[in-house]
Structure formats: C-alpha cells, structure tokens
Amino acid sequence: MAATKLNQIIAVEKGVKSKSFSELTEAHHQLLKPALLSGIARTYQPKDDEGEQLPPESTRVQVKAEDVLQRTAASLTRLFDVTATKDWANCVAKADVAVDGRVLVKDAPVTYLLFLEKQLTDLHTFVKKLPVLDAAESWALDASSDSWKTDAVQTYRTKRVPRNHVKAEATEKHPAQVEVYYEDVTIGYWTTVKFSGALPAKRVNELLERVEKLQQAVKFAREEANGTETTDQRVGEAVFGYLFG
C-alpha cells in the first residue's frame, strides 16, 4: 500500500465525492427510464407470396442494469477508499498546540483541532465586543464595590430666583417702575462618582492578542497533523463485492 499524506487526501476528497454523487445520480436516472432498458426485434411475413413485404423492426437495449451496477460500484469504491483513508488517518494524525513554547493541548487529533478553530473564531468575536471603559474618564479599581470608579466630581445645583429692579422710584403722582428679572442662585452641591463593570481597553487588547496567538497555534498544529503520513485504505472493493457481487 502506498504512503499518502492526510492533506493530500483532504485535497482530493471533495472532488471524488462530487464526481461519485454525479455518477450515482446519472445511474439512478438511467434506471428510471424503461425505454432505455427495453429492446425488441420484429420480422414480418405475409400470408402468401403476393402479400406486402415489410422490413424488420428492431430496437436495441441501451442500458443494462448489471452494467450500471458495476459502473456505480467502481465509482463509489473510489469514494469509499478515499473517505476510509482520511478517517483512518484522523485516528493517528495528532499535533501539539503550543503558544510561546508552552504546550496547551498535547497530541490533539485533527478533528479536535478543527473544533478549536471554530470555537476560537467565535471567541474572537466575543472578546472584540467586550465593553470598554470610557476613555474620557479617569478610572481606578475600587475594592469595596469590586468595580471601576472615577474620582468624585462636585457640581452646583442652582435655582432661578426672581429679583426686582427698580427702574424709577415712586413719586406722588406715579408708582415705582419695577422690572422683574431672574438670577441663578446656588442652593446645593452634587458630588458624583461614576462606577462601571466594563474593562480597560488594555485588558481587552491583551485578551484579543491571546486569542489570535492561540488561533495561529491551532492552525499550525492542524497543518502539522495533516502532514502525517498514512496508508491508503482499500475497503470499497470488499464492500461492493458483497453488495453487487
């Protein structure tokens, strides 16, 4: 049996699968057409020598079910063999997932590495959308509330108070001319401290960097595992020898 690398099998598997499906569909359609499976031969002989002579008629059988079975077996045998070779190889193809020299997953099989890749793609999206502290504020970690908080900021609370402005003093003949205006007067103070459960941008960036490093490590491990040499499997012949033999 010839030695084959797993990535070579993966490269041809899709094409073999597509070709086999197409040929199986075509075979199925052929067997559903009775006219292709039918033939006939007719000759005519008049009742006497003076009768009309007619030429013989014949239709050949175009499709033989047994031939279709053999062609189908040959087509699917290749698919069965390629798939078996890939699945057998996946049982032995393994690689370590390591980041900065630290092995996080030892001897991970290819199927698990594919799972990790999918999960890390989702985790990257998740981490990228984590809430980040408002950069316009100055934040400090507060142990008592177990969250981030800002320094206290004091603001004034004011109230509009009416005031009288005498434009003209009263006289014996005319009352005083008074104009009302409003003045903002401080009546109290607000002391505000903001709290947040979001994360510092630095923390989010560090998490993203870790996810991306692990993504690269998993891809590297998968490529390494896919380079594993395996043995071509020959199972299709035995299967179809039983099925259609």
Q: Residue 24: how many CA atoms within 13 Å on its side-chain side? A: 13
Q: Which two tokens stand for residue 99?
A: 């980041």
Domain range annotation of the chain: 1-93+229-245, 152-192
Per-residue pLDDT of 82-109, as tens digits, reads: 999 889 988 889 999 999 999 999 999 9
Residues 6+ apart with CB under 8 A from 232: 1, 2, 3, 4, 81, 85
The DSSP bridge partners found for residue 196 are 148
For residues 234 and 244, what is the distance between their CA atoms, to the nearest angstrom? Answer: 17
The pLDDT of residue 164 is 82
Per-residue pLDDT of 106-161, as tens digits, reads: 999 998 999 999 999 999 999 999 999 999 999 999 999 999 999 999 999 999 99
Segment (H or E) for 94: strand 94-99
DSSP codes of every residue in 23-82: HHHHHHHHHT-HHHH--EEE----SSTTSPP---EEE-----HHHHHHHHHHHHHHHHHH
What confidence category does residue 3 fall into, taking pLDDT thresholds of 50, 70 and 90? low
What confidence category does residue 1 fall into, taking pLDDT thresholds of 50, 70 and 90? very low
Ramachandran class of 107: left when φ > 0, alpha when ψ lies in -120 to 50, beta otherwise: left
Per-residue pLDDT of 68-83, as tens digits, reads: 999 999 999 999 999 9
Reference 8, options 87, 81, 75, 86; nearest CA is 86
The pLDDT of residue 104 is 96
What confidence category does residue 203 fall into, taking pLDDT thresholds of 50, 70 and 90? very high
The pLDDT of residue 82 is 92
In a 3-state reduction of DSSP, which class is residue 188? Answer: strand
Indicate the pTM of the whole model. 0.66
The pLDDT of residue 48 is 86
Per-residue pLDDT of 19-47, as tens digits, reads: 999 999 999 998 889 888 899 999 989 88
